[in-house]
Amino acid sequence: MKAYIVEKEAVAHNIDRLKAHAGGVPIWAVLKGDGYGLGAGAMAALCRENGLDRFAVTEPREARAIREAAGEEVQILMLRATTDREELGQLMDLDVILTLSSREDAAILEELAGERERPCRAHLKIDTGMGRYGFLPEEQGEVETLLRGLERVRITGVYTHFHSSFGKAEITRRQFDQFRRMCDGLEAAGLSLGERHCCNSSAFLRFPDMHLDGVRLGSAILGRVAVRDPLGLKKVGWAEASVEELRVLPKGHTVGYGAATTLKRETRSAVIGIGYCHGFTLQRGRDVWRAQDCIRGMLSNLKLLLRPSAPTVTVGGRSTRTLGHIGMLHTCVDVTDLTCQVGDRVRVEINPLMVKNLPVEYR
Ligand SMILES: *Cc1c(COP(=O)(O)O)cnc(C)c1O
């Protein structure tokens, strides 16, 4: 047996806390990346049970799963701009609120909305520094003209996305001010923009004055945020795999590829059928460009060199270290000092974003 377990209670707890912190401001549950790896439909149903009725996605298939799981009356917002007519058609048929991000997509939306009887709703995206999707603050004049020319597309909201809400507060403040100035300018010119929203999870927790008319929360629902958490959110998921084999290996025996571990004592080892092909010990890719990030990465590698520490798993409620390199499908665990039998379930921490090739089980 192996599966990724999502604890429904923990999700309910997080949503309760987030709602209290939002104080009545609507929450968009962001379920991109197939619900951060946990299944957009299943997560949407759970969010719906806990009183959320707004969702945000980046793929038509996520929108479809949410419609099926959470019903016709919930609102779904597409967070990615696209000029792909097929995608846009599918999204319109699912009554998804689209993102208007450029002159090109505005033209296509108008055309497709014309072919359909339904009115098309969209939120205007402003790029305050993320560098993808959205009009620049300097383009206010052009945006005014564009919005005035819309006939079939109705703008019901406007948003921006913060790039450093986990970092220095001034940076996010600057983005927030740019966003507000652009919205105020467009409204002063007589355009109506509808709901304003800008906060992701980190900004939501750190800057209550930026909640505006809505907040977009993904990682906070999973209880995994990159900033201090004042709400006591719970991590919602972990992997479980049963012990497939138990063996006693003599002192001096080696374990794993490269014989990276030589046992210092006679060791009882449990083999579990989970490895890096399921996401265990996979970190996010190397995507650092700034010198300061490279230095941070080097320091953490240096720390590992000075004090090597094997990843741990939990057996019968007790933490214990893994032995040797993690395999693609298998991991060996030191259970010398623990009670453990074949078939026992071992708990393995994996970030849901990294989970692959495991069924997701809600309990
Ligand atoms: C992913 C995303 C969010 C949610 O981010 P979290 O930090 O996971 O809460 C909000 N808005 C946009 C545009 C996103 O892409």
Mean per-residue pLDDT, 65-72: 97
Q: Using N-to-C axis directions, what is the helix angle for 140-149 and 103-115, rounded to 10°?
A: 10
Q: How far apart are CA 274 and CA 324, in angstroms?
A: 14
Question: In terms of pLDDT, which residue wins out, 136 or 283?
Answer: 136
pLDDT per residue over 218-236, tens digit each? 999 999 999 999 999 999 9
Q: List Cβ neighbours of 133 (8 Å cut-off, separation of 6 or more).
A: 80, 81, 99, 101, 125, 127, 161
DSSP for 90-113, written as a single string: HHHHTTPBEEE-SHHHHHHHHHHH
Stretch 84-106: mean pLDDT, rounded? 96
Cα(222) to centroid(ligand 1), Å:
12
Compute the distance between CA of residue 77 and CA of residue 68 in angstroms, rounded to an integer: 15
**How high is the mean pLDDT of the chain?**
95
Instruction: Work out the average pLDDT over 122-146.
Output: 96
Cβ count near 290 (within 10 Å)? 8
* Ligand 1 atom closest to residue 217's alpha carbon, by position in its atom list: 9
Look at residues 226, 279, 223 and name the one whose alpha carbon lies nearest to residue 7: 223
pLDDT of residue 285: 56
Angle in degrees, CA 25, 132, 217, rounded to 5: 25
- Ligand 1 shell residues, CB under 6 Å: 30, 32, 79, 161, 200-202, 216-220
Q: What is the atom index within ligand 1 of the atom nearest the CA of 216?
A: 10
Residue bearing the CA closest to ligand 1, atom 6:
218
284: pLDDT strictly greater than 80: no
Ligand 1 atom closest to the CA of 200, numbered from 1 = 9
pTM for this prediction: 0.93
Distance, CA of 159 to CA of 146 (rounded, Å): 17
Contact at 8 Å (CB) between 86 and 129?
no
Q: For a substitution probing ligand 1, which of 216, 222, 353 has the most ligand atoms within 8 Å of its CB?
A: 216
Which tokens sit at 164? 């450093």
Mean pLDDT confidence for 81-89: 95
Helix (DSSP H) and strand (DSSP E) numbers for the chain: 10, 18
For the CA of 36, the closest atom of ligand 1 is 8
Q: Shortest CA distance to 51 belongs to which of 79, 91, 20?
A: 20
What is the band of 308 on the pLDDT scale with cuts at 50, 70, 90? confident
- Quote the CA–CA distance of 197 and 250 in Å, as a whole number: 61
247 CA → ligand 1 middle, Å: 46
* CA 30 – ligand 1 centroid, Å: 6
Note the Cα 233 to chain centre separation in Å.
Answer: 15
Atom number, ligand 1, closest to the C-alpha of residue 32: 1
Among all chains, which residue has been given the structure tokens 């240096």? 302
Q: How far, in Å, from the CA of 227 to the mean position of ligand 1?
A: 14
Task: Please give the distance, rounded to the nearest whole angstrom, from the Cα atom of residue 125 to the centre of ligand 1.
Answer: 14
DSSP H or E run through 13: helix 8-22
Q: At what angle do helices 103-115 and 85-93 cross, to 10 degrees?
A: 50
pLDDT tens figures, 6-48? 999 999 999 999 999 999 999 999 999 999 999 999 999 999 9
Residues 99-120: pLDDT tens digits?
999 999 999 999 999 998 778 9
